[in-house]
């Protein structure tokens, strides 16, 4: 009987959570709590749970290998820590002090992945929602750049454009720097491409692009620029909920099987931007960069249009020189201002990243390879954007 | 031992879900599945669960009363239905055929509210995330207007403006209709205000404003207009994740204690919009509407600026005539084009909505009161916007 009453009470709470706009007290539990020493306490109400754990990227990682289309990749799986049951069915765990970063986590309640019901901050990556928290900490920490500070803010706009090449309307995201609306100046453009399974909201949401750009520009570390984040999957017109079909994103249905489509359709994106924004055009004012699939797409775009992009950023995604030698020769014949590769040391893509770097070195082509810790993860891509953006249009 | 292995396997799956950008297979389960007859099947993998239920607003409701600051309110709590356990630990439930609507639900797993891990579509209302699904069904159904169709799409932009009155930068959301970027025309403006606990993203996310406006304009049922969705809580500058503080929204910390602030600071919003957009100014081209707290704010704005808003929409939120008689007299002396109240029959706000309507009737002031089914819920507010927008600027 006691169990029945408890279930009824919990169901009632759950139903209460539906009361829109005039109720919604949350759980009454603070989780995560960022303590003054930058330790973080997680709490979970689970009076019936046998085991409650937290898994997150702030815990010691372990490398997990896997294979996609013949590529051996590695990712750093986050560790797991046990919460301890305290009074009133509230479980608790406190981390070691953490540095300024954007961290991801979820709970494992009796082994089942469960979102933290006390934390409304979460991100979707492909088909998985994950709770997040942000430690701003010291200026210069990655997390400091991902936080909103009291600096002039740019705008983030979701627009639609016609792609005659693909025969459809498509959606893209545009960051314009503070002052754009009120001014008359023309701005250089960074085209920033997402990875497989991503969409035109990936860089603005998971990537914290607006916050990074606002903070870098306010500090004088980056030039004011327009950042264009298109959808790089030719058969999707837009992000889930913004497209005509209510699709469930998966690696299968969101992976662009070849990059040929983007090479053909990308001029549609550029002409929309150049016709609708105050753009400083030309090689020295145009950059392209992307992560994973978007890195490979950026590389292929540079090969297809060697005189278009004066700055190229390949984040955990490259094309190999084999078979592309003449195209790479053409790229470097145009003397790019920056050809920058970022890759994690435990990322399977590192093999090809080093191969490209070595081949370019052997020809005397100036390429930067930035080797970070970690693998094929968003934490790296935010860092690469922060580093890459500071080198543009100077 | 078997349990340990299963837990380990589940933990492994959970960790796998962290593999960003190159993994992310989802659960492999289709849920919800919208069947051709518009029944909907929910599925949940819970081999250890004793009881799995779904609670959602498509099940028969029950009215729950509660009180906020002396106001008796009612909300329609969604019903609960049991899923049936089938092979391989997969639980299942299929609804009756549903009409075209945007529906909300979550699971109750042994009484604990749990998101559907197979459905990436979800909305946040205050501090609660809820899964959603959309049945488009027949043209004219509410759900049809909330869906993305192959019509010209407007843009949704998140901008920052200075509010000298409040001494801070604030964020707002602006919908501009298709053609705005390429054209020279000036457009009328609807200022659209959220409720307590909401923010500048509430109407665009929960309210599906862009989809409603795109579809109404494409059908010729609404005039092309700019829709401005500011943040109506004077001490918050922006939505969670976009503000300098990482706050947890609650009714306590998001309720504007008085409306005086918005009456004082609203001219900052209007002057930003009128200085930065191609706005057709003046009484006949300016509307204000809002839900709940935003309805009351809209009413107070009309009372403070009786010659500013030719169209006023009060969705489940009004001010009472008592003590405001002279101000209401001034409102109607200006002959508003439309003074429209929408309220649910089981909404506690209905008492005051009818009181205002009756008082206006007694003075011969033309006011429309639209009485819908249901209570203080987003489903009503989306419908009210759809109805109200069709009557503007004609």
3-state helix/strand/coil string of B115-179:
CCCCCCCEEEECCEEEEEEECCCCCCCHHHHHCCCCCCCCEEEEEEEEECCCCEEEEEEEEECCC
Residue A157: which CATH number? 3.40.50.1820
A290: β partners: A193, A314
> Is a pLDDT exceeding 90 seen at residue A161?
yes
Q: Which of B21, B183, B276 to mutate to test the interface with A (most CBs of A within 10 A)?
A: B21
pLDDT score of B26? 53
Q: Is residue B394 part of a domain?
A: no
Q: List the single best residue of A3, A6, A16, A18 to mutate versus B (max B Cβ within 10 A).
A: A18
Q: Which two tokens stand for residue B219?
A: 């059908």
- Give the pLDDT confidence score for residue A92 in this predicted structure: 97
Residues of B in contact with A226 (CB under 8 A): none
Q: Which helix (H) or strand (E) holds A130?
A: strand A128-134
Asked if the structure places residue A12 within a domain, the reply is: no
The 10s digit of each residue's pLDDT in B155-197 is: 999 999 999 999 999 999 999 999 998 899 999 999 999 998 8
Maximum pairwise Cα distance, chain B? 80
User: Chain A: residue nearest B253 by CA?
Assistant: A25
The two tokens of residue B237 are 């500058």
Give the distance from CA A157 to its chain's centroid.
17
Q: What is the pLDDT of residue A4?
A: 35
* Domain annotation covers residue A4: no
Task: Tell me whether residue A10 is in a domain.
Answer: no
Average pLDDT, rounded, for chain B: 88
Same-domain status, A110 and A169: no
For residues B334 and B219, state if they share a domain.
yes
Tell me if B231 sits within 8 A of B172, measured CB to CB: yes
Using pLDDT thresholds of 50, 70 and 90, give the confidence band for residue B371.
very high
Which residues in B lie closer than 8 A to residue A110 (C-beta atoms)?
7, 48
d(CA A245, CA B69): 43
Contact (CB<8Å) B291/A246: no
**Which secondary-structure segment (H or E) carries B330?**
helix B325-333
Q: What is the mean pLDDT of residues A111-140?
A: 89
Q: Encoding tokens for residue B112? A: 């604990």
Residue of A nearest to B246 (CA): A134
pLDDT tens per residue across span A202-256:
999 999 999 999 999 999 999 999 999 999 988 889 999 999 888 878 765 555 5
Strand pairing category for A52-56 and A71-77: unpaired
CA A109, A115, A118, A119 dihedral sign is positive
Angle (deg, nearest 10), helices B209-218 and B378-389? 30
Q: Which of A128, A115, A108, A112 is nearest to A32 (CA)?
A: A115
B389: which 2 tokens? Answer: 């927008």
**CB-based contact B287:B392 (threshold 8 Å):** yes
Q: Is A5's pLDDT higher than 50?
A: no
Give the pLDDT score at A20.
35
pLDDT single digits (tens) A286-340 = 999 999 999 999 999 999 999 999 999 999 999 999 999 999 999 999 999 999 9
Q: Which of B2, B3, B5, B20 is the best residue to mutate to test the A interface, defined by the most A CB atoms within 10 Å of its own CB?
A: B20
Same-domain check for residues B192 and B304: yes
B242-257 average pLDDT score: 72
The answer to whether the beta carbons of residues B192 and B203 sit under 8 Å apart is: yes
Contact B10 A55 (CB under 8 A): no
Residues B185 and B315 reside in one and the same domain: yes
Q: Are A300 and A319 in contact (CB under 8 A)?
A: yes
Mean pLDDT of the B358-387 span? 96
By the 10 Å C-beta count (0-12 exposed, 13-18 middle, 19+ buried), B95 is classed as buried
Q: How far is CA A51 from CA A10, A84, A104, A113, B220, in A?
A: 19, 9, 20, 12, 58
pLDDT of B18 over the 90 cut: no
Q: How far is CA B268 from the centre of its chain?
A: 24
pLDDT of residue A259: 59
CB contact under 8 A, A78 and B15: yes
Q: Please indicate, yes or no, whether residues A171 and A250 belong to a single structural domain of this protein.
A: yes
Torsion, Cα A178 A182 A185 A186, to 10 degrees, reads: 70
Q: In this structure, are B130 and B150 located in the same domain? A: no
**Number of residues assigned to chain A:** 394
C-alpha distances in angstroms, A296 versus A255, A348, B45, B121, B235?
12, 14, 37, 29, 45
First to last CA, chain A: 72
Q: How far apart are CA B89 and CA B324, in angstroms?
A: 61
Tell whether A287 is covered by a domain.
Answer: yes
Residue B115 lies in a domain: yes
Q: What is the distance in angstroms between the Cα of B127 and the nearest Cα belonging to chain A?
A: 5
In chain A, what residues touch B154 (CB-CB under 8 Å)?
160
| B179 Rama sector, left if φ>0, alpha if ψ -120 to 50, beta otherwise | left
Together in a domain, B197 and B321: yes
Last residue of a domain, one of B94, B110, B135: B135
Q: How far apart are CA A347 and CA A345, in angstroms?
A: 6
**For position B188, what pLDDT does the model report?**
98
Alpha helices in chain A (DSSP H): 2-16, 142-146, 202-205, 209-218, 251-254, 260-276, 293-304, 325-333, 350-363, 378-389
Co-location of A111 and A171 in the same domain: no
Question: For A259-268, what is the mean pLDDT?
Answer: 86
Nearest-CA distance B223 → chain A (Å)? 20
Question: Could you tell me if A305 and A340 lie in one domain?
Answer: yes
Question: What does the pLDDT read at residue B92?
Answer: 97
Closest CA in chain A for residue B273: A181
Distance CA A198, CA B22 (A): 10
List the single residue in A with minimal CA-CA distance to B110.
Answer: A7
Q: What span, in angstroms and rounded, lies between the C-alpha atoms of A268 and A165?
A: 7
Chain B hits for A75, Cβ within 8 Å? 18-20, 22-23
**Neighbour count for residue A47 (Cβ, 10 Å):** 12
In the predicted structure, residue B72 carries a pLDDT above the cut 80: no
For residue B238, the chain A residues in CB contact (below 8 A) are: 148
List the single best residue of B3, B22, B115, B124 to mutate versus A (max A Cβ within 10 A): B22
Q: Give the pLDDT of residue B254.
A: 55
Which one of A14, A120, A148 has the shortest CB-CB distance to B55? A14
Neighbours of B62 (CB within 10 A): 12
pLDDT digits (tens, 9 = 90+) for B183-238: 999 999 999 999 988 999 999 999 999 999 999 999 999 999 999 999 998 888 99
| A69 — pLDDT class (breaks 50, 70, 90) | low
Coil, helix or strand at residue B287:
strand
Beta carbons of A63 and A77 less than 8 angstroms apart:
yes
Q: Which residue has the higher pLDDT, A63 or B214?
A: B214
Task: Judge whether B2 lies within some domain.
Answer: no
Place of tokens 């010209």: B152
Residue B9: predicted pLDDT: 33
Instruction: Check residue A62 and give its pLDDT.
Output: 72
Q: Of the residues A113, A135, A157, which one is the last residue of a structural domain?
A: A135
Q: Beta-carbon neighbour count of residue A78 at 10 Å?
A: 24
Going by their DSSP bridges, the two strands B338-344 and B311-315 should be labelled as: parallel
Q: Looking at residue B29, which CATH number applies to its domain?
A: 2.60.40.10
Beta bridge partners of A226: A189
Cβ-Cβ contacts under 8 Å, B205 against chain A:
none
Place of tokens 């009503």: B380
Q: Is the pLDDT of residue A113 over 90?
A: no
Residue A45 domain boundaries:
18-135
Q: Does residue A195 fall inside a structural domain? A: yes
Rounded to whole angstroms, the Cα distance separating A194 from B82 reads 40
DSSP one-letter string for A354-373 = HHHHHHHHHHT---EEEEES
* Phi, psi dihedral angles at B368 (to 5 degrees): -100, 130
Q: Which of B208, B114, B287 is nearest to A14 (CA)?
A: B114
Nearest residue in A to B103, CA atom: A18
Cα B145 to chain centroid, rounded: 14
Contacts of A22 in chain B (CB under 8 A): 66, 68, 73, 75, 195-196, 251, 292, 376
Residues of A within 8 A of B158 (CB-CB) are 155-157
CB pairs below 8 Å between A and B: how many?
Answer: 284
Cα B36 from Cα B47, distance rounded (Å): 29
With beta carbons under 8 A apart, name residues in chain B contacting A114. Answer: 114
Do B233 and B293 share a domain, yes or no?
yes
Q: How far apart are CA B5 and CA A86, in angstroms?
A: 26
What's the complex ipTM?
Answer: 0.89
Query: How far apart are the C-alpha atoms of B247 and A305, rounded to whole Å?
Result: 46
Q: Are residues B167 and B294 in the same domain?
A: yes
CA dihedral B114, B120, B123, B128 (to 10 degrees): 20
| Radius of gyration of the CA atoms of chain B, in A | 23
Please report the pLDDT score of residue B246 as a whole number: 82
Predicted pLDDT of residue B342: 98
pLDDT of B11 higher than 80: no
Phi/psi of residue B362, nearest 5 degrees: -65, -25
Domain end position, chosen among B112, B135, B158: B135
Structural domains in chain A (count): 2
Residue A238 with chain B: CB contacts under 8 Å: 148
Q: Report the candidate in B338, B268, B276 with the shortest Cα–Cα distance to residue B302.
A: B338
**Are the C-beta atoms of A135 and A38 separated by less than 8 Å?**
yes
A62-66, A273-277, B49-53, B193-197: lowest mean pLDDT where? A62-66
Distance separating alpha carbons of residues B375 and B295, to the nearest angstrom: 15
Same domain for A30 and A76?
yes
Å between B351 CA and nearest CA of chain A:
16
Distance from CA of A340 to the nearest CA of B (A): 20
């Amino acid at each position: 009987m006691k169990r029945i009453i408890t279930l009824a009470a919990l169901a009632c709470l759950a139903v209460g959570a539906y009361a829109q706009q005039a109720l919604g007290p949350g759980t009454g539990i603070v989780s995560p709590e960022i303590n003054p020493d930058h330790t973080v306490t997680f709490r979970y109400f689970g009076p019936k749970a046998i085991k409650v754990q937290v898994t997150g990227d702030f815990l010691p990682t372990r490398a997990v290998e896997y294979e996609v289309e013949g590529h051996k990749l590695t990712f750093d799986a986050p560790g797991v820590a046990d919460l301890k049951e305290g009074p009133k069915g509230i479980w608790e765990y406190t981390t070691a002090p953490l540095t300024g970063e954007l961290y991801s986590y979820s709970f494992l309640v009796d082994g089942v992945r469960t979102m933290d019901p006390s934390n409304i901050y979460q991100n979707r990556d492909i088909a998985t929602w994950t709770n997040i928290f942000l430690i701003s900490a010291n200026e210069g920490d990655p997390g400091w750049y991902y936080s909103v500070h009291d600096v002039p803010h740019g705008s983030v706009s979701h627009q639609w454009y016609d792609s005659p090449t693909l025969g459809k309307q498509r959606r893209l995201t545009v960051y314009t720097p503070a002052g754009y609306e009120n001014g008359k100046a023309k701005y250089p453009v960074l085209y920033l491409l997402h990875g497989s399974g991503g969409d035109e909201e990936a860089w603005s949401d998971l990537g914290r692009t607006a916050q990074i750009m606002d903070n870098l520009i306010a500090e004088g570390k980056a030039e004011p620029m327009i950042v264009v984040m298109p959808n790089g999957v030719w058969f999707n017109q837009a992000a889930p909920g913004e497209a005509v079909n209510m699709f469930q994103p998966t690696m299968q249905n969101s992976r662009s099987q070849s990059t040929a489509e983007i090479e053909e359709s990308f001029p549609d994106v550029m002409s929309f931007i150049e016709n609708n924004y105050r753009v400083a055009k030309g090689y020295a004012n145009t950059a392209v960069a992307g992560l994973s699939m978007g890195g490979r797409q950026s590389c292929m775009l540079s090969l297809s249009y060697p005189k278009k992009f004066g700055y190229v950023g390949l984040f955990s995604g490259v094309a190999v020189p084999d078979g592309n030698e003449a195209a790479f020769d053409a790229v470097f014949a145009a003397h790019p201002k920056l050809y920058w590769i970022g890759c994690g040391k435990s990322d399977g893509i590192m093999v090809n990243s080093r191969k490209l770097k070595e081949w370019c070195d052997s020809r005397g082509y100036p390429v930067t390879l930035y080797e970070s810790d970690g693998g094929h993860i968003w934490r790296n891509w935010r860092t690469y954007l922060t580093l890459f953006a500071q080198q543009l249009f100077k």
